[in-house]
Chain A
Amino acid sequence: DAKTTQPTSMDCAEGRAANLPCNHSTISGNEYVYWYRQIHSQGPQYIIHGLKNNETNEMASLIITEDRKSSTLILPHATLRDTAVYYCIVRVGDNYGQNFVFGPGTRLSVLP
């Protein structure tokens, strides 16, 4: 699976949009981009995933560049409860999860 690089940490003001970048320059054509987040001492929570089109759900939006070498997770109105570590993962969309490789992620702090 392609490796991803994310900033170590980011701050965001409460109520503002949080834009979390992820670089995956070696992504293959059949690899999806997944985002998870982990609040302290809890299991990671699925946020969103996509292949090449932008995606939106009730939690966030995922913007994937046309060349698919990078993506951005957008939390439109960040709240204090969005403070967490956010993981960007790329993996082949097969039926096994063993290639969900979690890196160190980005620690997002939402500030009052």
Chain B
Amino acid sequence: SQTIHQWPATLVQPVGSPLSLECTVEGTSNPNLYWYRQAAGRGLQLLFYSVGIGQISSEVPQNLSASRPQDRQFILSSKKLLLSDSGFYLCAWSRGRVNEKLFFGSGTQLSVL
């Protein structure tokens, strides 16, 4: 069966510090991978998605970047965090086929202070 791992679960970082959140998927190959962010009390905002190694599409220009160094690994990064980067970050995957569902990780609660 397929599983998605996302870590850490919680993170407190000072403004201006770097960020690296990692997500890995097991039990499948060539998944589509996604990073979403959820501000407190809000819906989910798609940040990045990837359909293959080294292929990243950005939905929202901002202080963050994403990379996919391996088929089942997706990394969200920032060189200098802003207060507005605080939120709940979710990694998700889907099979690259028609009408497939999204499967989410457990999320990372990021607080930038």
Query: Which A residues fall within an 8 A CB radius of B?
Result: 32, 34, 36, 41-46, 49, 87, 93-98, 100-105
Contact = CB atoms under 8 A, between A and B. Distances in A.
19 contacts: A34-B101, A41-B88, A41-B109, A44-B90, A46-B103, A87-B43, A94-B98, A95-B95, A95-B96, A96-B96, A97-B49, A97-B94, A97-B100, A98-B46, A98-B57, A100-B102, A101-B46, A102-B43, A102-B44
Given A96-B32, A98-B49, A98-B59, A43 B104 contact: yes
Contacts of B88: 41
Nearest to B34: A97
Contact of A45 (B36, B94, B98, B104): B104
Contacts of B97: 95
Contacts of B49: 96-98
A101 B43 CA distance: 9
B87 interface: no
Contact of B107 (A34, A41, A87, A102): A41
Contacts of B34: 97-98
B43 A43 contact: no
Interface of B: 6, 32, 34, 36, 42-44, 46, 49, 51, 57, 59, 88, 90, 92, 94-107, 109
A94 B98 CA distance: 4
Given A95-B98, A100-B102, A43 B42 contact: no
A49 B99 CA distance: 10
Nearest to B48: A98
A44 B96 contact: no
A105 B44 CA distance: 10
Contacts of A98: 34, 46, 49, 57, 59
B91 to A, nearest CB: 8
